[in-house]
Amino acid sequence: MRKKRVGVVVSLALFCAAGCSAAPGPAPVEDPLAQQVKNSTTSTAPAQPKKQAKELAIGIDQIQNGFNPHLLVDDSRFTQTLASLVLPSAFVAGKLNDDLLLKAERLAPDVEKQKDVVFTIRYDIAPEAQWSDGTPITVADFEYLWASMRNSAGTLNPSGYRAISAIRSAGAGKTVFVDFQKEYADWQGLFQSLLPAHLLRGEAFSKVLAQGIPAAAGKFLVRSIDRQRGVITLHRNDRWWGKEPARVETLTFREIRSTVQGVEMLETGQVSFLDVSPTQTSREAYDLIPDTQVRIEPDAYTLEVVANTHLDPLLRRELRSLIDAGLLSRLAFGRDVDIDVARRNPEPSFENLRLYSLSRPVIIGVDPAREVDFNAAKTLSYQLAKYNIVTQLVQADMNELMRSQIPHGDVDVVVATNGALLAERYACPATGVLGSNQSGFCDPDLQKSIDEYFAGTVGADELATLIGQLEEEQALRTVVARDKRLEVLGHGIVGPEPKLEDWPKGLSSLHTWRIHE
């Protein structure tokens, strides 16, 4: 319930820093297939409403990496939100995206010609579907995402793409046939956030979208990214061909670097909504602002210590028993409120400690760009030092850790925040490429159960029980804490419901918001 507005004046220092916009990407180069389709379809922008609201400003956490929603290194709540606004998906919230696709249907294989195909999905792309530079969306964009997810390390939930054996096309690339070599029940969850292949092909997937998103096929496009000032500006996509254009002209995301800054921006109307990680006192501070609504909800991401499969199982169990989850989470997140901390493991007896007698340091890998992860890794190092266990901190981005250091056993543990599916964290590497599996562990029997889970014949609870038993035995993954999110609704937004508590989670309904006139 909204609080009655009273005369409150908050005197705070204004947040301001000089900055410059991100440089534009290279001029687009169309492949012949895309050009053929472009010549046969219209790229004329639909008529726009005469009146468009100007700007909607939203406060977010600091951006720590790039903007590729398919990489563990870039994965975050905001990255996924940005992708949903800018990039096209075959299905949205389990429903066919009928702006992008005319239809998507499952076909039985031709048993004589397709002996190794279990089923095929046919996608018919809307003739008008195009990127913001005018290039049509075609089979090339489906092929690009499929190949990248199969062949790149550190990808987010790649198993569905690894179940695909081939992609074919017809109709100048506007009809796409996707052949599956094994059953995959959640095929509607694939081809989310398609990427503009004509602009990215030839670039290492680990570097794709590191600085921005060069072309859009959603209701918005990325106008500018100013990392120094912490401002990301989206404009309404004038080449949007769908039924309903964006309800606002400009979306601005502003990094909130302190609670003081967040309070000031809400009070002065510089932002109308916040979706941020809480601090020790932020909920109390925002709750005091008149006419605001505050909501705390669980996050999808967990802070974890993942042991490498090259480390002896006995030492992995011993290492797990040394982790003080409460201390680790407090120092990593800088708070002990609005966070779900895992139960602390029993402390071992010092005289039986085998890690103490290791002839080398325990090597801890961490991505230094993620502040919480880095703080947790440093704290773990200090915790182990209490037992005279020497450690070495290896700082590398998650792409590098997943590509070489984890597979080669160059790190003993990785400290990371992870939002991948549980099944994906234990899926065996395909052709030696780690997807979301940060331990490198591979067990054929468990992989069979994982395949059955993805096929829909093993339930999530049953698989979770199997993995829980394996984790108890192997001590591969130690969950430290699950974060929570703080949302604050200020002035000027008309959302799905009058009460924030009734809104969908986070920024998932952002495309429906409008500015109060």
167: closest CA among 131, 128, 138? 138
Structural domains in the chain, sorted by start: 52-87+218-292+490-517 (3.40.190.10), 88-197 (3.90.76.10), 299-484 (3.10.105.10)
In the structure encoding, which two tokens stand for residue 481, read together?
A: 């804490």
510: closest CA among 221, 217, 248? 248
In the structure encoding, which two tokens stand for residue 291, read together?
A: 């006419």
C-alpha to C-alpha distance for 464 and 11, rounded to whole angstroms: 51
- Work out whether strand 119-125 and strand 101-107 pair parallel, antiparallel, or are unpaired: antiparallel
Q: What is residue 517's predicted lDDT score, i.e. its pLDDT?
A: 67
455: closest CA among 105, 91, 160, 93? 160
Which parts of the chain have pLDDT scores under 50? 1-52
54: closest CA among 240, 271, 235? 235
Q: Other CB atoms closer than 10 Å to residue 94's CB: what's the count?
A: 8
C-alpha to C-alpha distance for 306 and 322, rounded to whole angstroms: 14
pLDDT digits (tens, 9 = 90+) for 110-125: 877 788 899 999 999 9
Backbone phi and psi for residue 465, each to the nearest 5 degrees, phi listed first: -65, -45
Those residues with Cβ within 8 angstroms of residue 239's Cβ, 6 or more apart along the chain or in another chain: 43, 45, 130, 131, 132, 134
Give the DSSP letter of residue 502.
Answer: G
Give the DSSP letter of residue 127.
Answer: T
Q: What is residue 45's predicted lDDT score, i.e. its pLDDT?
A: 45
143: closest CA among 191, 108, 182, 213? 191
Report CA torsion sign: 95, 100, 101, 106. Answer: negative
Q: What is residue 110's predicted lDDT score, i.e. its pLDDT?
A: 80
Q: What is residue 5's predicted lDDT score, i.e. its pLDDT?
A: 41
Taking CA atoms, 453 is separated from 106, 239, 447, 466, in Å, by 19, 40, 10, 11
Q: Residue written as tokens 């407090």?
A: 330
Q: What is residue 509's predicted lDDT score, i.e. its pLDDT?
A: 87
